[in-house]
């Protein structure tokens, strides 16, 4: 790993516009560097959702019943273009967890079958895997991949080493939650497909963080949030299934269109607020004014700079990067291992989080993973370098 104290010069990105934060719903009193958790909404997106709510409430039967298919198909067309899928191969769900559950609960496993994942898996997905494994006598295998990681190949090799004749499904995050790593999902899918093993990708963080072409990845299943990095209203997510794998897959809520194909089944999962789904194209359009490539590049450059800057500023307290400092394995988030000394500041990660929030108005996640404490900084276009300098100062002050 590069020694952070010997780094050359590096720069944060140029802001995409002079004043961006006022376009967002976030409270300016809080320095918000946890976009990765629930995303955040630009005002225009909340307003769009509100307009949809009003239209729905004004004419419920017309919008939700008679015009539903048309309205959904308009919204799906924009999302399909954005993530690289055909409209007939996906549907909206409320969250990535729901998409993952729909797949896991639709599949059948035999005693002794193995469901493979890695220890970076999102905990809710881990529990969903446990649930389906326990009821069928299958096993969940969780491969340990310790940090730091040096290369994508290391991740592919780790998964390759875990495949056995009993592996029936591999569940892999496109971008991991605690550790913010981009997994080389295309290579992992190729590896598994060669052995006839299906891959379920948990792409909760992918839309909006990475340039996405889901169908070309070649996997069987892809569940993704639009409410994180595409900043659609909360409760807007999608489940895509490769055409040859669709027949046995059903939403977790079986309803009127059972047996009529995945897209039809997903189009009606019982009465629910569809305003967020209808507003999703406006979230995609909001970023188009800046250009999606520029947005992703801005956020990535910021995350790369933040990783290096925090490693430099915190070199004296013994912080460790988790991925190469050139940013090659991260997107818009970076996770750093905190030194043992942080336990002097709070007894638990929550206590440390609360001190940063209460004393410095910083919203940043701290968590326990693999027997250490970690901090994850998210970078969205409303963030500025000052946000992270403030974090650097706050941690040093707490330790002083």
Binding site for ligand PLP (CB under 6 A): 95-97, 122, 124-125, 173, 177, 202, 204-205, 225
d(CA 157, CA 176): 17
Q: Are 138 and 168 in contact (CB under 8 A)?
A: yes
Query: What are the start-end ranges of the H helices in the chain?
Result: 35-38, 43-58, 60, 68-83, 96-106, 123-136, 152-162, 185-194, 214-217, 262-267, 275-288, 292-313, 349-360, 385-399
Query: Smallest distance, Å, CB 54 to ligand PLP?
Result: 25
Cis status of the peptide bond prior to 174, with omega within 30 of 0: no
Query: Smallest distance, Å, CB 144 to ligand PLP?
Result: 17
Cβ-based nearer residue to ligand PLP, 39 or 152: 39
Query: Smallest distance, Å, CB 204 to ligand PLP?
Result: 3
Query: Smallest distance, Å, CB 61 to ligand PLP?
Result: 30
Query: Smallest distance, Å, CB 237 to ligand PLP?
Result: 6
Cβ-based nearer residue to ligand PLP, 31 or 95: 95
Cβ-based nearer residue to ligand PLP, 179 or 308: 179
SS (H, E, C) 238-262: EEEECHHHCCCCCCCCCCCCCCCCH
- List the 366-369 sheet strands across, edge first: 320-321, 333-337, 372-378, 366-369
Q: Are 133 and 169 in contact (CB under 8 A)?
A: no
Query: Smallest distance, Å, CB 122 to ligand PLP?
Result: 3
Cβ-based nearer residue to ligand PLP, 280 or 309: 280
Tokens of 212: 């996405």
Cβ-based nearer residue to ligand PLP, 325 or 364: 364
How distant, in Å, are the alpha carbons of 91, 219, 221, 222, 386 from that of 99? 9, 15, 9, 8, 37
Query: Smallest distance, Å, CB 217 to ligand PLP?
Result: 16
Cβ-based nearer residue to ligand PLP, 158 or 399: 158
Cβ-based nearer residue to ligand PLP, 199 or 204: 204
Pairing outcome for strands 198-203 and 167-173: parallel
């Amino acid at each position: 790993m590069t020694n952070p104290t010997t780094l050359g010069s590096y720069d944060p990105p140029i802001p995409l516009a002079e004043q961006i934060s006022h376009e967002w719903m976030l409270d300016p009193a809080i320095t918000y560097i946890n976009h990765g958790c629930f995303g955040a909404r630009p005002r225009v997106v909340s307003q769009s959702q509100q307009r949809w709510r009003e239209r729905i409430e004004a004419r419920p039967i017309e919008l939700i019943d008679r015009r539903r298919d048309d309205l959904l198909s308009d919204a799906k067309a924009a999302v399909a273009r954005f993530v690289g899928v055909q409209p007939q191969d996906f549907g909206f769900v409320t969250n990535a967890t729901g998409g993952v559950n729909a797949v896991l609960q639709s599949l059948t496993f035999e005693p002794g079958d193995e469901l493979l994942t890695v220890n970076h898996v999102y905990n809710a997905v881990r529990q969903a895997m446990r649930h389906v494994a326990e009821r069928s006598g299958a096993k969940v295998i969780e491969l340990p991949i310790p940090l730091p990681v040096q290369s994508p190949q290391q991740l592919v090799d780790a998964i390759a080493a875990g495949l056995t004749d009993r592996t029936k499904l591999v569940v892999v995050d496109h971008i991991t939650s605690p550790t913010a790593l981009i997994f080389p999902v295309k290579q992992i899918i190729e590896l598994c497909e060669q052995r006839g093993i299906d891959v379920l990708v948990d792409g909760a963080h992918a839309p909006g963080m990475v340039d996405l072409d889901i169908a070309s990845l070649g996997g069987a299943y892809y569940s993704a949030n639009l409410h994180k990095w595409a900043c659609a209203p909360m409760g807007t997510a999608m489940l895509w299934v490769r055409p040859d794998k669709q027949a046995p897959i059903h939403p977790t809520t079986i309803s009127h269109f059972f047996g009529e194909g995945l897209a039809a089944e997903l189009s009606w999962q019982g009465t629910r607020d569809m305003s967020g789904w209808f507003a999703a194209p406006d979230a995609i359009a909001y970023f188009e004014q800046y250009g999606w490539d520029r947005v992703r590049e801005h956020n990535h450059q910021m995350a790369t700079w933040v990783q290096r800057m925090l490693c430099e500023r915190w070199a004296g307290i013994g912080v460790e990067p988790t991925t190469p400092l050139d940013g090659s394995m991260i997107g818009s988030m970076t996770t750093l291992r905190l030194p043992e000394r942080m336990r002097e500041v709070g007894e638990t990660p929550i206590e440390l989080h609360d001190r940063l929030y209460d004393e410095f108005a910083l919203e940043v996640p701290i968590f326990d993973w693999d027997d250490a404490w970690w901090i994850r900084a998210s970078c969205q276009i409303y963030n500025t370098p000052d946000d992270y300098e403030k974090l650097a100062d706050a941690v040093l002050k707490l330790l002083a």
